[in-house]
Chain A
Amino acid sequence: MIRAASIETRDRRRALALAAPALAWTAAFFALPFAVMATASLWRRTDTGFDRRPSLENYADFWSQSAYVEAAVNSVEITLAVTCLSVLLAYPLAWIIAVELPERYRRIALALAVIPFWTSYVVRSYAWSLVLAKKGVLNGWLAAWGLGALDLANSRAATVIGFTHFFTMLLVLTIYASLVQLPRNLRLAAADLGASRFQTFRFVVLPLTLPGVAVGAFLTFALCIGDYVTPQILGGGNDLALPQLVMLQISRRADLPMAAALSVILMVLVTLAYLAMARWMRPR
């Protein structure tokens, strides 16, 4: 009896020792920095350094200055547009690859769908700025067809296009994964019972793949709203997104407390999105 207990203790100690390095790393370089950020968001920048008495003035500033609120609204609008567009573009392609295509072509079709992943993230946004530039490829084509030029460079539309490109690829993968798990028999059974193709999709396929879509959509939301690169390269200097504003506090104004407060607001937005979408993410 005593022996069994001591073996149990030994196993527990051993397991703790195995988990300790990862826990220590996460505590030192993730949890601690996070606490530092949350604390710093309550400080104030002064001419000589920081005023470390806790106050909510940064958050009050956020609410009272329209530039800050506008950036948050911009970010949410861009992110919602990107999430919806990407799901709408990716779902049919994932469906075609998972269901319509003969099995032997699936791997290659999927591999082709993510080829641009192979180039660098920064370069992908730059590549879109080439396409959308005033004298770029797109306007070249439009002119060749006798259509007027579009002024997309440095605009919110360019940001949305660049993001949608990236997240469509990502969502094709996640939605494909939930579609192939769906047994073919379920669709056949629905058809046998007299459901039309649309009804089968609406009442069988869509509800069963919804959790996969919701997880992908949340991932898109979280990654999109926190990204600095794409709005900075494609969106240009006006109509800032929240991460651009955060970086501006750091690089131009050396205002770490405000940057920290804006980051906290960013996290709150992601959490709200999670709460709003959580009920779709669970299989029913």
Chain B
Amino acid sequence: MIRFALCSAYMALIYAFIFLPVAVLALFSFQDGRFPIPPFRGFSLRWHAEVLADADLIAALVNSLLVAVASSALALALGFLAARAVATGALRGAGMVRAAITAPLSVSYLVIGLGLLASLNLMGIGLSLGTVAIGHVVINTPLCFAICSAALGPATANAERAARDLGAGEIRVMALVTAPMIMPALLAAFLLSVTFSWDEFIIAFLLSRFDVTLPVEIWSLLRSGLNPKTNAVGSLVFMLSALAVLAVELAAARRK
């Protein structure tokens, strides 16, 4: 009984700590006043409306989606192919290849971003959404590689060998046998990459110029100090992510 009470009390405390900022953020996005701090003056949708009417924010949101989907697709392709190469066992120095591809995982995003910024400057390449995507492919390829590697095993290798014996070429083996067999892993890798890219700030901040992604646009909003509009952006992003998660969960439930 005491044990149960202790556990419940601890859970309540930690969950309160975890939810507190998000709850405050959401509540004061409805503030009918200029400051998102107590007292709460009443319910208003005016800040949400202001966000949806803000062309810069909407453009940044679209940019973020574009960068996330494009960079994740490329990272998944690179990671999947490399994972297959390592899984065949035919590669010489497979351990080195694995280490080389997963190396970016151990380096801070700030350092990756700065390095790319310096190199692009030296090469005379201008900053754009494309350079942001390049950076995001760098951080997401190791992730996709690791997830795909974990999914490839003796089962996929046997099926691939059978398909090859039956005369399928390498591309058909990959598209018709390997990919469908590890589809859940491919989806997971893609979605995780999209999430990381969507939320990534420092690389996008360093490698973008005129067109920016959503976190960078929100960053420039922060310069105006505490502002219910920032609350509204935050809660809208939250709802968008919640809907996406729900959609994925429903899709997964349906597949079963």
Contacts and interface: CB of A to CB of B under 8 A. Distances in A.
Contacts of B197: none
A116 interface: yes
Given A115-B18, A122-B222, A267 B10 contact: no
Interface in B33-92: 36-39, 77-79, 81-82, 84-86, 88, 90-92
A29 B116 contact: yes
A81 B214 CA distance: 31
Q: Please indicate which of the listed interface residues A118, A228, A270, A274 has the most CB atoms of chain B within 10 Å of its own CB.
A: A118
A121 B10 contact: no
A22 B110 contact: no
Given A118-B245, A165-B18, A15 B91 contact: yes
B132 interface: no
B110 A243 contact: yes
Interface in A251-275: 256, 259-260, 263, 266-267, 270, 274
Contacts of A233: 222
A61 interface: no
Nearest to A27: B100
Contacts of B201: 121-122, 229
A280 to B, nearest CB: 17
Contacts of A89: 14, 17
Interface stretch (A64-72, A92-100, A182-190, A200-208): A92-100
B242 interface: yes
A135 interface: yes
Nearest to B74: A25
Q: Please indicate which of the listed interface residues A89, A115, A225, A260 has the most CB atoms of chain B within 10 Å of its own CB.
A: A115
Contacts of A229: 201-202
B103 A26 contact: yes
A33 B104 contact: no
What's the interface size class on A, roughly? 35 or more
Contact of A19 (B18, B21, B82, B214): B82
Interface string A1-23: 00000001001101111110111
B245 A116 contact: no
B106 interface: yes
A22 B78 contact: yes
Nearest to A247: B110
A123 B234 contact: yes
A277 interface: no
B38 A127 contact: no
A16 B81 CA distance: 10
Contacts of A223: 108
Nearest to B137: A25
Nearest to B11: A96
B214 to A, nearest CB: 7
A222 B237 CA distance: 27
A223 to B, nearest CB: 8
Nearest to B102: A26
Interface of A: 8, 11-12, 14-19, 21-23, 25-27, 29-34, 36-37, 40, 89, 92-93, 96, 100, 109, 112-113, 115-116, 118-124, 126-131, 133, 135-137, 140, 165, 168-169, 222-223, 225-229, 233, 243, 246-247, 250, 256, 259-260, 263, 266-267, 270, 274
17 contacts: A12-B92, A16-B85, A19-B91, A22-B141, A29-B116, A30-B107, A33-B119, A37-B115, A89-B17, A113-B14, A116-B19, A120-B218, A124-B22, A136-B37, A228-B202, A267-B107, A267-B108
Given A137-B20, A263-B115, 20 more contacts: A21-B78, A21-B82, A34-B107, A113-B15, A116-B21, A116-B22, A118-B238, A119-B238, A126-B230, A127-B22, A127-B25, A130-B24, A131-B20, A135-B37, A168-B17, A223-B108, A229-B202, A247-B110, A250-B206, A260-B114
